[in-house]
Amino acid sequence: MNKKSLTMKAALAALTCTVCVSSMNAQKQYPKQEGMTPGMSEYWTPQPKVVTPGDIKTNTAPSDAIVLFDGKDLSAWESVSGGPAQWNVHDGVFTVNKKAGDIQTKQKFNNYQLHIEWCVPKNISGESQGRGNSGIFMQGMYEIQILDCYNNETYVNGQTGSIYKQTPPLANAMRKPGEWNVYDIIYSAPIFKEDGTYRVPPRVTVIQNGIVLQNNTTILGTTEYVGFPKVVKHDAGPIILQSHGDPSEPISFRNVWLREL
Ligand code: MG
């Protein structure tokens, strides 16, 4: 066989082999991916705990709530400056005592759902920040404003439902003086880095009388009357109710309970 014939034979053999391998691959069978069934994306445990809701008519708290005021006494509270809470309990409610200063829960909390009702007296006087001013400090650091904002204008990041001096509320949902307002507050505590800055900042949702005022809003730092918020590392903290120094008639609270989350 001459040299040219040998080369052609080799080329023909190579072509034959390529065809052979391609044919084998085409015939190879792999398992099919299993199809989804509805049950593959459903799970049954752990079941959420059963909580019996409170009764709106009788102002009872949900079955798993920590009751912070049931109309009888302030035993769950103490004065921020030390000693018993000296606010005035009467007729199933308690009223700010401006001479006695702020009060706070004895217990400290992290994440929670807080229910608290408050009423501006019918005969309220004053204007802007000097009219029914109080507030709820979460973990003792961050104030959700309470103020009579019914026909009473003030700076918007200081009105009812603001994160005071930070974020205005999304709406003005005030009831008239003499009527009860309901706050439902869902608070997520911050998580800190080693260096004391926020890894996850605190966040809050505030609903007043069924209307959203804060929608999972990021809290920037501590409440400061003068200056800007500060980031201060802290642990679990109390709920503080503010006894504001304005000369207007003091507001009242009732039906206070909290569910830890
Ligand atoms: Mg205030």
Read off the pLDDT of residues 65-107 as tens digits, 9 standing for 90 and up.
Answer: 999 999 999 999 999 999 999 999 999 999 999 999 999 999 9
Distance 75 CA to ligand 1 centre (A): 23
The Cα 67–Cα 216 span in angstroms is 24
Distance 259 CA to ligand 1 centre (A): 24
What pLDDT, on the 0 to 100 scale, is given for residue 52? 96
Distance 154 CA to ligand 1 centre (A): 12
Q: Is the pLDDT of residue 21 over 60?
A: no
Distance 251 CA to ligand 1 centre (A): 12
Distance 160 CA to ligand 1 centre (A): 9
Instruction: Determine the 3-state secondary structure of 80 from DSSP.
Output: coil
Of the pLDDT bands very low, low, confident and very high (cuts 50, 70, 90), residue 30 is very high
Distance 179 CA to ligand 1 centre (A): 19
Of the pLDDT bands very low, low, confident and very high (cuts 50, 70, 90), residue 167 is very high
Q: What is the mean pLDDT of residues 41-60?
A: 91
Distance 133 CA to ligand 1 centre (A): 5
CA atoms within 13 A on the CB side of 65: 21
The per-type count for the chain, helices as H runs and strands as E runs, is: 1, 15
> Which residue has tokens 């009388």?
209
Distance 193 CA to ligand 1 centre (A): 30
Distance 235 CA to ligand 1 centre (A): 23
Least confident of 25-34, 195-204, 251-260: 25-34
Least confident of 17-31, 74-88, 103-117: 17-31
Of the pLDDT bands very low, low, confident and very high (cuts 50, 70, 90), residue 4 is low
What pLDDT, on the 0 to 100 scale, is given for residue 57? 78
What pLDDT, on the 0 to 100 scale, is given for residue 125? 96
Q: What is the DSSP string of 147-179?
A: ---TT----GGGSTT-BTTTB--S---PPPTTS
Of the pLDDT bands very low, low, confident and very high (cuts 50, 70, 90), residue 58 is confident
What pLDDT, on the 0 to 100 scale, is given for residue 176? 97
The Cα 139–Cα 100 span in angstroms is 21
Compute the Cα dihedral for 207, 212, 215, 220 and give only its sign. negative
Distance 98 CA to ligand 1 centre (A): 13
Distance 69 CA to ligand 1 centre (A): 20
CB 119 within 8 A of CB 134: no
Mean pLDDT of the chain, nearest integer: 92
Distance 135 CA to ligand 1 centre (A): 4
More confident residue, 252 or 18: 252
Question: Would you give the end-to-end CA distance of the chain in angstroms?
Answer: 90
Q: Which amino acid is it at 261?
A: L
Q: Is the pLDDT of residue 8 over 70?
A: no
Helix (H) or strand (E) run with residue 69 in it:
strand 66-69
pTM exceeds cut of 0.85 = yes
Percent of the chain residues past pLDDT 70, beyond the cut: 90
Distance 231 CA to ligand 1 centre (A): 20
Q: pLDDT, tens digit, for every residue of 37-50?
A: 999 999 999 999 99
What pLDDT, on the 0 to 100 scale, is given for residue 55? 87
Distance 42 CA to ligand 1 centre (A): 47
